[in-house]
Structure 1
Amino acid sequence: MTKQLNMNQTGQQPKVSVTQMALILVLGLMAPMLDTTMTNIGLNTILKDLDATVNTIQWVTTAYVLALGLAVPLAGWLVNQMSGRLLTELSLIIFLIGSVMSGLADSLTFLLIGRIIQGAAAGIIVPLVTTLGIRAAGGQGLGQLMSVVGLPIVFAPILGPTIGGALIKFLNWHWLFYINIPLVLVALILDVVFLPAFEPTAGQRKPFDFMGFLLLVGLFSGLVIGVTNFSTDDVFGKFSVLLPVFIGLDCLLGYVVYAFEQPTRALVPLKLFHTPNFSASTALLFLSGLLVNGAMFALPLFLQNIRGLSVIDTGLYLIALGAGMLVTRTQAGKLTDQYGAKWVVIISLLFAAITTVPFAYFDKGTPTWLILIMLFLMGLSRSGITIPVMSDSYSGIDHGLIAEATVATRMAQNIGGSVATAVLAAVIASYEGNNLATTAMLHTAYFHTFMWISIGTLVGVLPAFFLSSKSQEAA
C-alpha cells in the first residue's frame, strides 16, 4: 500500500502515512458501528423503561438506519464541495450531539430524535472514511487499505454486545449512548492534529442533484419501511408492506430513467455500472447483508434462545467469530492486491456456506468447543468476502467518481442488510408461532434460518465470477 499521502490528493503536506491516516479515520467510525450493536442489545430494556411496545421500539433501530441511508447520497456530494477533514469533524460533532440527546432521553419521542441525528451523522461518516482513504491511497493497495477500514466491521459485533450487556447490567441503558462521548472526542482531537485537509478534487464541484436525491430517498425509505413492516408480523400481502415496497421500486426505475437523461447531474452516474467488477461488487454487497447482518442477527438469538446464554456470555462466544476475521483480515487484503478479488471471494463464499450449515443442527447439547471452532471457521471466511469485494468495487474507477461509487456501494450494503434482517426475522417468527414457542419450534426456526443464510451465501458465487482477476488482466 502507498506509504505516504499524495499532497495533490489531500490538499496539503501530509503528516502521517496512509495506514496511520486510515486508522485515525477508522477510530471515528468505531462509535457509529459500536452504537448499532450495543443499542440492539438494549432494546428490550429500553422498551420496559419507556413503557413502549414491540412495534414502536423497533423504530429506535429503524429510524437510525433510515437516517443513515438517506444521508449517504448527501455525503457523496458534500465531500466534493468542502474539506474532507472539516466534513469529518462536523459529522462527528453532530453524532456526539445525537448521542447526548439519546442518553438524556426520558421518552420514546426524544430518543427517536436523538437516534435520527445519530443516524444522519453516521450516514456521512461511514462513506466518508472509505472515500478519503481511497483518495489518499491513490487507488493503490486497496486490499490492504480495506483491511484497515474494515476493522470496525470486525470489532463492532464482538465488542458491542459484550460492552452493551455490561453497561446495562452495572449502570443503565442511557450509558449505551454516553459511551460514545469519549470515543468521539478522541477521534476529533486526532483528526484536528494529524489529518490533512482533503480539499475537493479540482473540477468536482457541481450543483446538488435534488431530483436524484429525492428518488434515492424514496428508494431507500420505501424498501426499508416495507421490509420492516414485513418483519413485524410476517405478512407480505399487507398494504403497509406492499405500498412502501412499490414506492421504492418505482423510485428505482425513476432514478434509472433520470440518470440516463441527466448523466452529468446524477448523484450516482449509471456509467459506474458499465464496469463489470463494479456491478458485481454492488450485487455482492447487497447479498453480503445476508452473510454479515443476517448472521449477526441470527447468531446472538440462537445462542440466547437455544443455548440459554446471557447477553454478556453471548458476546464472549462471538469473540471466536471476530478472532477468525482478524486472522484472515490482512491476508485477504494482500491476496486481493496480488491475485484480484475473483477467486478469493468465490472460495470464501463456498467456505462461508459450508461453515454456516452446522449451526442449523446445533442444539443445547452441542459441545461448547465445537460451536467455538465453527464460529472461528465462519469468521475466517468473512474477511475473504467483505475486504476483496469492497476493494474491487473501486478497481478501475475514475478518481473523480470515488465519492459516487461509495454512495452506490454503501446504499446497496445498507438496503441488503435491512432486507436480510427483516427476512430472517420473518422466517424465525413464522416457525415460532404467536404463542410461547416450544423447544422443537425453536429448533425448526433456527434450522431454516441458518439454511437460508447458507443458500443465500451460495447465490453470491454467481456475481463473484465477474469480479476482477489479475491473471485475466495479465492475459
Structure 2
Amino acid sequence: MNQPHAKMELAPSMSPALMRMAAALLIGTLAPLFDTTITNVAIHTLGEALHASVSGIQWVMTSYLLALGMVIPITGWAMERFGGKRMWMAALTTFLAGSVLCSLAWNLGSLIAFRAIQGIGGGLMLPVMQTMLIRAAGSQKLGKLMAMIGLPTLLGPILGPVLGGLIVDRLDWRWIFYVNIPICLVALALAWRWLPRESPRERSGRLDFIGLLLLSPALVLIIYGLAQVGSHHGFGHSAVLVPLLGGVALLAVFIGYALRTSGTPVIDLRLFRIGSFTASSVLFFLSGLSTYGGMLLLPMYYQQVRGEGILASGLLLVPQGIGMLLTRTLAGKLTDQIGPRPVVIGGLLLTALGTLPFTQAGAASSLFALGAALVVRGAGLGAVFLPVMAASYQGLSSEQIAHSSSATRIIQQVGGAFGASVLAVILENRLTGPITPLTLAHAYDHTFLWSLGFTVVGLIPAALLPALKRSPSHIA
C-alpha cells in the first residue's frame, strides 16, 4: 500500500465526469463559506437590528459552530449507510432550509435556533464533498484534485468580506441569508444531474452511539468554551474553564474507548498510526489557528488602527485572497511532482514573510506595502492548505477516507476556534492601560508577532510530511 515507486508515473488527466462532479460539489460549498465570512462581517449590524447585546449576538455565530461540531463525527458512518449523493443533497437542503428560516427570523432567539439548523447542513457538507471527490478520483492526481477542492475556501476570503460590507452598507440584514438561496438551488439542480448515485455499503455497520455520545458533546463543550474566551477576557473565567475542561475530559474518555472498542468507532483513531496523517493533522490545527486568527486580526487592524469602514476593510483584504489564487494551481502540480513536504515548507515560509510586516505596522504604514504583504501571505496559505490535505489521504483505504475527512474537519474547526480565542486574549492583555493610537498599534503588532510564531512552529510537523508523493492508486 505504502511502497514508493522507483520512478514517477504520470497520472491521467481528470475525466469530464469527475470535473462535472467536482463543479456540482464546489458550487454548493460556496454557500456555507460565503455565509460564514458575510455573517462575521455583519455581526454588529445584526446586533443593532435585533436590539441584542454583544454577548447575546455572539450566539448567532456560536450556535452555528456548536451544531457544526455535533454533526461532523457522524459524517463517515452516514456516507457508508446512505451513500454520498443522498447525504450531499440532504446536507445542502438542510443548509438551504436554515438560510430561508434565518431570513425570516423575528428576534434573536429565533435567529440563533435557525443558525443551528444551518450549522447542521454546513457541518456535513465539507467532509461529504471531500470524501466523494477523493473516492471518485481513483488514481488521478491528488494535488490537482486538492486544488479544485480548495477553490471555495479561497473565494470565500476574497468575496465574503466585500459582499458582507455591501450588504451592511446598502441592504437589509436579511440579505445576509438571501444570498445563500440561489447558490443552494443551483447546487441542488447540478447535484441531481451530475452526481453519481452511490449505493449504501453493505458493511456500513451500526452507528457507534457510545462514541457519538462522548465525542459530539466533547467538541461542543470545547468549541463553546473557546468561543467564550473573548467575552470573558481570558481563560480564567469559570464560563470558559468549566466547558473547556469538561470537553477535554470527555475527549480523553472517547480516546480510551475508541482505542479499546472491537467495532468501528465514530472516528477511527487508527488513522494516527499513519505518519503522514498525523503530521497533516497537526498542520491542519496550526493552519486553522493561523487562518482564523488572521480573519479576526486583519479586519480589526484596518478598522481600529487605521479607521477604515467595513466595506473598505473587506476590499483591503482582497489581496490575500488573490495571493491564495495565484498559488492554487502551482501548489497542486508541485505536490504531484515533488511531494507535499517541500511545498508546505515553502508555503509556511511565505506565510511568515507575509505576516512579518504586520508585526511592525502602524496607523501610517503604506497600504500598498501591506497589500503586497497580504498577497505574499495569501500565496503561502494557499500553498500550505492543498498539499496538507493531499498528504492526509495518502496511505488510506477507501473505508478510511470518510473517517479522515471527518477527523481533519474537526481538527481544523478546533484549531480555528483555539487560534481566534488565543489571539483575542493576547490582544486584550495588551490593551489594559490607557488606549492611544500608539498603544493600539503596538498591541496589534505584538499579537501579529504571536501569529507569526504559530506559523513558524508549523515547520516542525511539515518536516515529517512525505518528501515524494506515493502513488494513490490504492484509493478506490
What TM-score results when the alignment is normalised by the length of structure 2?
0.94
**Residue equivalent to 1:273:** 272
Measure, in 1, the Cα distance between the counterparts of 2:62 and 2:12: 39
Q: Are the counterparts in 2 of residues 43 and 57 from structure 1 also a CA contact under 8 Å?
A: yes
Aligned match of 1:11: none
Counterpart secondary structure, 1:81: helix
- Give the deviation of 1:233 after TM superposition: 2.3
Paired with 1:418 and 1:64, the residues of 2 have a C-alpha distance of 13
Residues 1:283 and 2:282 are matched in the alignment = yes
Deviation of 1:321 after TM superposition, in Å, equals 0.8
Retained in 1: the 8 A contact 2:337–2:469?
no
Specify the alignment match of 1:56 in structure 2: 56
Q: Which structure 2 residues correspond to residues 390-469 of structure 1 after superposition, within 5 A?
A: 390-433=389-432, 437-469=435-467
Task: Decide which moves more: 414-423 or 131-140.
Answer: 131-140
CA distance in 2, matches of 1:263, 1:458: 40
Partner of 2:7: none
Q: How does 1:341-380 map to 2 (within 5 A)?
A: 341-380=340-379
State the AA in 2 paired with 1:82: F
Matched, 1:35 2:35: yes
Q: What residue in structure 1 maps to residue 124 of structure 2?
A: 124
How far apart are 1:464 and its partner, in Å? 1.1
What is the CA-CA distance between 1:195 and the residue it aligns to?
1.4
Report whether the alignment pairs 1:17 with 2:17. yes
For each residue in 1:167-197, what CA deviation from the matched residue of structure 2 results, as whole angstroms up to 9, or x when unmatched? 1221111110011000100101111111111
Instruction: State how 1:379-394 maps to structure 2 within 5 Å.
Output: 379-394=378-393
- State the Cα RMSD in Å: 1.7
Distance 1:303 1:338 in 2: 39
Counterpart residue number, 2:144: 144
Distance 1:434 1:263, change over 3 A: farther
Decide whether aligned partners of structure 1 residues 421 and 336 sit closer, same or farther in structure 2, where only a CA change above 3 A counts: same
| Bigger mean CA offset, 212-221 vs 391-400 | 212-221
Where does residue 88 of structure 1 map in the other structure?
A: 88
Hey, what does 1:103 align to over in structure 2?
A: 103
Separation of aligned partners in 1, 2:130 and 2:139:
12
Please name the residue that 1:9 is paired with: none
Q: Which shows bigger deviation, 276-285 or 305-314?
A: 305-314
Residue 2 (structure 1) shift: 5.2
Given the two structures, how large is their TM-score scaled by the length of structure 1? 0.94
Counterpart-to-counterpart distance in 1, 2:461 and 2:143: 19
Runs of 5+ consecutive residues of structure 2 not aligned to the other structure: 1-10, 472-476
> How many aligned positions are there?
461
Superposition deviation, residue 383 in structure 1: 1.2
Partner SS, residue 393 of structure 1: helix
| 1:140-163 alpha-carbon deviations (Å, 9 max, x no partner) | 311111111111111111111111
Task: Report if the CA contact (8 A) 2:271-2:277 is conserved.
Answer: yes
Match of 2:5 in 1: none
1:349-391 residue CA offsets vs partner (Å, 9 max, x unmatched): 1221122111121122112211111111111111111000011
Return closer, same or farther for 1:178/1:472 CA change in 2, 3 Å cut-off. Answer: closer
Match of 1:432, SS?
A: coil
| Number of the residue aligned with 1:213 | 212
Distance (Å, rounded) in 1 between the aligned partners of 2:104 and 2:382: 37
Q: Write the distance in 2 (CA, Å) between the matches of 1:391 and 1:321.
A: 22
Contact kept? 1:96, 1:184, Cα under 8 Å = yes
Provide the C-alpha distance between the structure 2 equivalents of 1:441 and 1:115, rounded to a whole number of angstroms. Answer: 37
Q: In 2, Cα distance between the equivalents of 1:262 and 1:248?
A: 21
* Contact persistence 1:158–1:318 (CA under 8 A): yes
Name the structure 2 match of 1:8: none
Give the drift of 1:434: 8.3
User: Aligned partners of 2:151 and 2:214: how far apart in 1?
Assistant: 32
Distance in 2 (alpha carbons) for counterparts of 1:139 and 1:263: 31
Report the Cα offset of residue 17 of structure 1: 2.6
1:170 aligned partner:
170
Whole-angstrom distance in 2 between the partners of 1:237 and 1:309: 33
Quick one: which amino acid aligns to residue 136 of structure 2? A
Does the 8 Å contact 1:232/1:426 carry over to 2? Answer: no
**Structure 1 residues 80 and 354, CA, compared in 2 at 3 Å: closer, same or farther?**
same
Deviation at 1:134, TM superposition (A): 0.3
Question: Residue deviations 1:184-240, cap 9 Å, x none?
Answer: 00101111111111334x444110011111211122112111112222122322222
